[in-house]
Structure 1
Amino acid sequence: MFGCVRAAPFNGRVPYDMFGWLASQYRPRPQLSVRSAVDPEGQAPGRRVTNFELLPMTVRFKHLRQVAKNSVGVYRSHIHGRGLFCKRDIECGEMVVEYAGQVIRSVLCDKREKEYEAKGMGCYMFRIDEQTVVDATVHGNAARFINHSCEPNCYSRIVDIFGKKHIIIFALRRILRGEELTYDYKFPLEDVKIRCTCGSRKCRKYLN
């Protein structure tokens, strides 16, 4: 035990993380909603059809733009350092957040991954189709911090809004304030495994 940090042996610098402050223990997460037992209709929170699922995608997307910033926030997570959490109750089928960023061609992915790796930066990318990818590493929003879970409460979907493709995260069930948002990354099977730390009852142990 050392009384002064400078008196301790130097073990090298901690890799720079420009988003490290988001996982600070001094940023308290939203408190879990007291409505955790039953919903307003007296049913246990789970999968049920809501009015959101009956509305046109354009109307739902407009609503998303109005409420997204006040609906979610990035806080410390046990899954992967930091994650995205609900700041209000979210209904089943509701658009939660758009996975936003810079749309690039697929051929640029490998080049950018190497550039980010050389700078010691994390890489946040989401494929739209065979030709295009959303790079959220620098120009993205909070959606890039959504963690994987083998038992998720959200799912991703590509939707066409006025001729433009968007990656939208939807609520798979009713999600209560204070819950961490997760979806299944659905990585392809590979020999080199990436360990899963979601901690769910149905955890597959590996992301791929």
Structure 2
Amino acid sequence: MVHILDHETDTLVSLIDYKSLSSPIPTTESLSPPTTEEDDEDDDALNIPKRRKLNSTQQVDDDQLFSLAISKINLNEKNIEKDNKLDTKKEDGPCTECKTIDTPQWRRGPQGYRTLCNACGLRWAKQKNPDEARPLKKIAPKKATPTPKKMSHLLFHRKEFIGHGLYSVENRQGTNKPTRFELPLPIHQGESTLLTIKEFELPPFIWQERELNLIKSLKDKRPVFTKIRSNLFVERKPKLCPDERNVCHCKEPTGENEVGCGDDCINRLLFYECDPKHCPCGPKCSNNRFQKKQRKYKLEVFKTDQRGWGLRTLEDIKKGAFVIEYRGEIISQKLCEERMCTDYVNENNFYFLEYSKGEVIDACTKGTEARFINHSCDPNCHIEKWSYRGEAHFGVFASKDIPAYSELSYDYNFSTFNVENEQMCHCGSESCRGTIGKKKK
């Protein structure tokens, strides 16, 4: 026996209606309940019309209809349970940000699903994280507008520039290239005047300035060179042998003002500079003039009468004192000859000093003021070659006491490359050899 609930009647009725619509309209016989043989006998006794009998197929259809009704009822029960659960949920709103209740759509927020109104939800979704500052977009700097090019050059082909005057007798032709602005020649000056050739002459005011020495000659311009603090090796690297130690036997001075490694120092006598790391005198050693780049006396480059530029001292110099170091580029003899034929082919003054066998110091473009020291057959200075860590250093030393404002000079003892073009000597001394060359034996 099946119990049908109140809310299930609608479903059952709908199924019965569907069955009635899908089946033909029943007659009085079809509506009568099914009968058995005993029922038929009772009906005959009471003169009641016979009831219809159900066959097996009709009975199966009714069973299927009944089972469908039962399954539909169960499905409706599940839907009703879901509706009851949704009714028990909390209603949406208010918004956790603006506390509003009326909104066309609820959106997700930081506190969960459907916690923000439509406006607050869109704003929160755009910012993603309202606690952190929104990063600024990097805006690329605008490129500077290029300066428009002048279009005047496009008009050159339309113009014709006159190069020889409007009334020139010869070369009556023009050019499309712009020339310096010139006023036209006067009219009706005569053909002979235009054809007369006259040699160039300087204006009178230039001659007057020249005679009054108001215009300086290019010869009076001091030669330009680059000062350097040490020799530059062009074709090789400096040796700098740290293992080469020349230790002297001097004793360290005890007094405060005393200086070690004096004139009796073995290294000084052999023209070797002491190594401060191994010298017994330590920081009081005085045999390190080239290492310390010492320059004790004030010197001046000046213009001489017949020997170009020279070097003189502004202070008194004692005999044997170190004056200045001769520096330059260390090059080979072969490179020196190449420079003589190329770079210095038009030069009259040369600044070469023999460095070692097959090598030369070239001080033409890089060096010190020692390059201006002129030659003299009776000099007041001489060149000394000193060694330190495997490399040579050349210094100018006073050969005698030199008073202030005296010109410095030394004997070049120069080896001429071309005997026919020997340079004349203008030292003016009594023992002058006449030419700048090697000493006669």
Residue of structure 1 equivalent to 2:206: 5
User: Deviation string for 1:116-172 (max 9, x for gaps)?
Assistant: 234657431111122211111111111111100011000112111232201111110
SS in 2 for 1:128: strand
Q: Return the index of the structure with the highest Cα Rg.
A: 2
SS in 2 for 1:4: helix
State whether structure 2 residue 293 is matched by structure 1 residue 65. Answer: yes
Residue of structure 2 equivalent to 1:201: 430
CA contact (8 A) 1:79 1:198 kept: no
Paired residues for 1:73-152 under 5 Å: 73-118=300-345, 120=347, 122-152=349-379
Q: Which has the higher contact order (CA 8 A, sep 6+)?
A: 1
- Between the aligned partners of 2:315 and 2:395, the Cα distance in structure 1 is 18
CA contact (8 A) 1:105 1:131 kept: yes
Give, as a single letter, the amino acid of the residue that structure 2 aligns with 1:5: I
- Between the aligned partners of 1:157 and 1:104, the Cα distance in structure 2 is 19
- Deviation of the 1:187 alpha carbon: 2.4
Residue of structure 2 equivalent to 1:43: none
SS in 2 for 1:126: strand
SS in 2 for 1:113: helix
SS in 1 for 2:294: helix
CA contact (8 A) 1:154 1:171 kept: yes
Give, as a single letter, the amino acid of the residue that structure 2 aligns with 1:176: P
Give, as a single letter, the amino acid of the residue that structure 2 aligns with 1:163: G
User: Deviation string for 1:35-60 (max 9, x for gaps)?
Assistant: xxxxxxxxxxxxxxxx9755635335
Report the structure, 1 or 2, having the larger strand content.
1
TM-score scaled by structure 2? 0.35
CA contact (8 A) 1:127 1:134 kept: yes
- Between the aligned partners of 1:61 and 1:200, the Cα distance in structure 2 is 35
User: Deviation string for 1:46-104 (max 9, x for gaps)?
Assistant: xxxxx975563533552772325x52221112351110101211111111111101111
Q: Which runs of 5+ in 2 are unaligned?
A: 1-201, 210-215, 224-260, 274-285
CA contact (8 A) 1:71 1:87 kept: yes
Residue of structure 2 equivalent to 1:181: 408
CA 1:89 to 1:7, structure 2 compared with 1: closer, same or farther past 3 Å?
closer
- Between the aligned partners of 1:15 and 1:126, the Cα distance in structure 2 is 30
CA contact (8 A) 1:16 1:120 kept: no
Q: Which runs of 5+ in 1 are unaligned?
A: 9-13, 23-50
Give, as a single letter, the amino acid of the residue that structure 1 aligns with 2:430: R
CA contact (8 A) 1:116 1:123 kept: no
Report the structure, 1 or 2, having the larger helix content.
2
CA 1:191 to 1:108, structure 2 compared with 1: closer, same or farther past 3 Å?
closer
**CA RMSD in angstroms, aligned pairs only:** 3.3
CA 1:2 to 1:202, structure 2 compared with 1: closer, same or farther past 3 Å?
farther
- Between the aligned partners of 1:87 and 1:153, the Cα distance in structure 2 is 15
Q: When the two structures are aligned, how many residues end up with a matched partner?
A: 173
- Between the aligned partners of 1:110 and 1:204, the Cα distance in structure 2 is 26
Equivalent of 2:382 in 128, 140, 155: 155
Give, as a single letter, the amino acid of the residue that structure 1 aligns with 2:413: K
- Between the aligned partners of 1:203 and 1:123, the Cα distance in structure 2 is 20
- Deviation of the 1:20 alpha carbon: 2.5
State whether structure 2 residue 371 is matched by structure 1 residue 170. Answer: no
- Between the aligned partners of 2:343 and 2:218, the Cα distance in structure 1 is 12
CA 1:90 to 1:130, structure 2 compared with 1: closer, same or farther past 3 Å?
same
